[in-house]
């Protein structure tokens, strides 16, 4: 690892955005909600914040894999693969459709490790989203891992081990969806995500060894959290702790399920889980709530 890599700790980037009505309505259509149900002044569904404040790298700043090149805000970690692996988010005030907002991103930590597949570097980024009036809407700790290029074949990557049930999760609700090409395209377009593994199947197979296009990890969490929120629409979401554990691929069935609301200190909580059609755990999430009005921000 480069000697100066830790100089990136504390580096900040500010991204301004508008919680635009057009994007909100497109996000609603993507998950089969009525786009017309959203208007300016409405509270944004809390987990939809992650579709805003996306980096707008110029065409000349994009690497061969479709990601922005490293060395500007992202540290020049000398490992080729970057994967989103989870987030811990605290919510304070809702974002509102139509308002201006900004995100302050800071490199919080850089941690090298040795894994079964070789060298790993864990990067944690702290994102603070501020509303138009200066109040903090949310604070997110985002976890990313850098790793070496895989030597596994496509057939090895396509094989997953069935979980054979959901240990420790007494599912009170469940739903299923197919991850089709249109959903993958729409999500990447909405989030301005140019990573080629999500839409260029030839690249995903030939260059990165996957069986086909890879589902955005953030999309897996988006679907899982949205399903969990449907179980408690009249409560205020205060925190999400979410982790990704294995990739999903285009064409797979995603199974979403979770517990009923359970009392915890100062509120209520839900545990939720996403599995592939074969039963492999793709993601887990814990959602915490308070019994207070959601309001309009």
Q: What is the pLDDT of residues 158-197, one digit of tens each?
A: 333 333 344 445 689 999 999 999 999 999 999 999 999 9
- Which one, of 155, 84, 141, 145, lies nearest residue 117 by Cα? 145
If one counts every other C-beta atom within 10 angstroms of the C-beta of residue 75, the result is: 22
206 lies in some domain: yes
pLDDT at 30: 97
CATH number of the domain enclosing 237? 3.10.129.10
256 lies in some domain: yes
296 lies in some domain: no
pLDDT > 90? residue 70: no
Residue 42 is part of which domain span?
Answer: 5-290
Q: Are 144 and 83 in contact (CB under 8 A)?
A: yes
| Mean pLDDT, rounded, for 73-87 | 88
β partners of residue 81: 147
pTM of the model: 0.89
Q: What is the pLDDT of residues 237-271, one digit of tens each?
A: 999 999 999 999 999 999 999 999 999 988 899 99
Burial (CB < 10 A; 0-12, 13-18, 19+), residue 293, is exposed
Backbone φ and ψ for 124, nearest 5 degrees, come out as: -115, 130
* Averaged pLDDT score across all residues of the chain: 88
> How many domains in the chain?
1
What size, in residues, is the chain?
297
Of the pLDDT bands very low, low, confident and very high (cuts 50, 70, 90), residue 295 is: low
């Amino acid at each position: 690892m480069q000697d100066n890599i830790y100089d990136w700790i504390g580096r900040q980037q500010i991204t301004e955005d508008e919680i635009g009505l057009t994007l909100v309505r497109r996000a609603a259509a993507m998950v089969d909600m009525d786009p017309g149900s959203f208007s300016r002044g409405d509270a944004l569904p809390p987990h939809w914040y992650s579709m805003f404040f996306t980096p707008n790298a110029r065409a000349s700043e994009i690497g061969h894999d479709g990601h922005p090149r490293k060395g500007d805000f992202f540290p020049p970690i000398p490992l080729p693969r970057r994967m989103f692996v989870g987030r811990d988010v605290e919510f304070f005030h809702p974002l509102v459709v139509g308002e201006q907002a900004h995100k302050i991103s800071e490199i919080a930590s850089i941690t090298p490790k040795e894994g079964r597949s070789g060298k790993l570097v864990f990067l944690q980024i702290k994102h603070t989203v501020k509303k138009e009036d200066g109040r903090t809407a949310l604070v997110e700790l985002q976890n990313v891992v850098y790793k070496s290029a895989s030597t596994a074949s496509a057939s090895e990557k396509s094989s997953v081990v069935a979980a054979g049930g959901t240990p420790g999760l007494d599912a009170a609700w469940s739903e299923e969806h197919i991850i089709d090409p249109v959903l993958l395209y729409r999500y990447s377009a909405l989030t301005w995500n140019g990573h080629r593994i999500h839409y260029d199947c030839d690249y995903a197979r030939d260059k990165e060894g996957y069986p086909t296009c890879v589902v955005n990890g953030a999309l897996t969490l988006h679907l899982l959290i949205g399903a969990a929120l449907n179980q408690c629409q009249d409560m205020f979401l205060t925190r999400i702790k979410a982790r990704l554990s294995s990739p999903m691929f285009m064409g797979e069935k995603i199974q979403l399920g979770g517990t009923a609301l359970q009392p915890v200190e100062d509120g209520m909580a839900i545990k939720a889980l996403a599995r592939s059609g074969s039963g492999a755990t793709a993601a887990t999430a814990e959602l915490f709530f308070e019994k207070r009005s959601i309001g309009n921000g």
